[in-house]
Amino acid sequence: MNVMLKRAYAPAAKADGKRVLVDRLWPRGMTKAKARIDLWLKEVAPSTELRQWFNHETEKWVEFQKRYRAELKGNAAFAELKALALQGDLTLVYSARDETQNQAVVLKQLIEK
């Protein structure tokens, strides 16, 4: 199992394997053809309330992870994502500017656990 992370605005590559968008909203200014997304699992993204509360503020990162992990308990889309990871290379695609503090990072940690 090889789970990778990539911003939606970075070019797709063959090595990405299956590309899954894990954002609730489609990346701004990105066409579907350019994004080369195989699957959009918006249900695995943080709730709108959690996303707006976090607002990518570094001091909220630890609490965001805790709340997001709680949201993922029993989430069918997360179960689907874990199953996809067992099938081969998987790239979690996200649009956040911060490459170290976003939902894809949390998802990757949970999948690899």
pTM beyond 0.85: yes
Whole-number Å distance between alpha carbons of 14 and 42: 23
Structure confidence at residue 13 as a pLDDT band (50, 70, 90):
very high
Structure confidence by residue, pLDDT tens digits, 36-64: 999 999 999 999 999 999 999 999 999 99
Structure confidence by residue, pLDDT tens digits, 60-73: 999 999 999 999 99
Total of domains in the chain: 1
Q: Which domain holds residue 64?
A: 3-112
